[in-house]
Amino acid sequence: MLDRFFVSFTNAFYFVPLQSIRFKHRFPNAKVVIACATKARMLKENQDPKYEFGWSLARRGMLVLTETSLYCGDWEIPIDSVHDAVLQKIPYGAVLRIETTDGMHYQFGVQNDPAWENQKFLPLKIVKKVLEFSTPALILRLIISIWLIWLIFQDVLSSRFTSSTVIYILLAAYILYPLIKWVANRLS
């Protein structure tokens, strides 16, 4: 239920319903199977997705799966050219990894939408995995977490529990949750 809310919210934030209308005008014969918000990257080589700065420069927009192709902006990936497709489920979402027969590699950050698992046009392997961290991303996440914890601690010591304290707590939880999952995964 909560996943559905986040999928709808994210799609609205990225104007997916409006972009879908534009897509249907551009490609009137294409039957849309899934249209969702995405962060997308094209890579030169196959690599596991991980928390890294490359995602901050990723293309943002709409990913469309039709019966014959994947579309993201000006990228068109025919399904018959897909060599390997993996949906890697992660906390807070999923990463769709596509490798084409001509050696192109794509990663699409999408929401946890059951439509990806239920569609029948793109043969997907579905895996559940905790993402790794690049060293700079890990260091930055630790610095921001320590700073937020310090701010929360200062508010508690001064007996000031304000709306900013609640925001600090929520941000710290959002930043620390993937880190905690990553550490727990490494220890198990």
List Cβ neighbours of 115 (8 Å cut-off, separation of 6 or more): 33, 34, 36
DSSP label of 76: E
Domain-wise residue ranges, the chain = 2-129, 135-187
CATH (residue range 2-129): 2.30.29.30
Instruction: Say which amino acid occupies 18.
Output: L
pTM: 0.80
Question: Which of 7-16, 34-43, 143-152, 164-173 is the least confident region?
Answer: 7-16
For residues 109 and 160, the answer to whether their CB atoms sit within 8 Å is no
Q: Across the chain, what does the average pLDDT equal?
A: 89
What separation, in Å, do the N-terminal and C-terminal C-alpha atoms of the chain show? 29
- What is the C-alpha separation between 14 and 61, in angstroms, rounded? 6
pLDDT in tens, 129-181: 878 888 888 899 899 999 999 999 998 888 888 888 899 999 998 888 888 88
Distance, in Å, from the CA atom of 122 to the CA atom of 78, rounded to the nearest integer, reads 10
For 102-164, the DSSP string reads TS-EEEEEE---HHHHH-SSS--EEEE-PPEE-HHHHHHHHHHHHHHHHHHHHHHHTT---HH
Identify the top-confidence range among 11-20, 29-38, 49-58: 29-38
The two tokens of residue 160 are 């000031």
Contact 130, 136 (CB under 8 A): no
